Amino acid sequence: MSDLISRKAVTTEIHNYFKGLIDKGIHNVDVVDCSAHISKRIDKLPTAFDVDKVVAQLESFKCSKEEAEKDMDKFIRNQHFDMCISIVKAGGWNKEKEAIE
């Protein structure tokens, strides 16, 4: 499952990392160490939303399979919720209207 985090938050973390080095007078950095430190900072950022909670909430709006089999409107509604769930799980929707892998 993919994590959705703020692009601005990532940019801020990278900026703050390098600003901290410059403030300490460190101007030469090892690329591997730099990458590791930035990755750790980014890993600590909160996600924009909890995918599992969103999926659970969408699932709760669906009616039972038995109800959907008896009523075409409910069947279509369930299909729409299933489509929304696949979009949320994939993290987006592309131009060809297929869930992004």
| pLDDT tens digits for range 64-99 | 999 999 999 999 999 999 999 998 888 766 555 555
Do 39 and 57 lie in a common domain?
Answer: no
pLDDT recorded at residue 1: 43
Residue 30 is assigned to a structural domain of this protein: yes
pTM over 0.75: no
In a domain, 96, yes or no: no
Which domain, by its residues, includes 66?
Answer: 51-90
pLDDT of residue 93: 66
Residue 95 lies in a domain: no
For the segment 2-45, what is each residue's pLDDT rounded down to a tens digit?
A: 567 888 999 999 999 999 999 999 988 888 999 999 999 998 88
| Rg of the Cα atoms in the chain | 21
Do 39 and 58 sit in the same domain of this protein?
A: no
The per-residue DSSP string of 26-79 comes to -----HHHHHHHHHHHHHTSPPSS-HHHHHHHHHHHSPPHHHHHH-HHHHHHHH
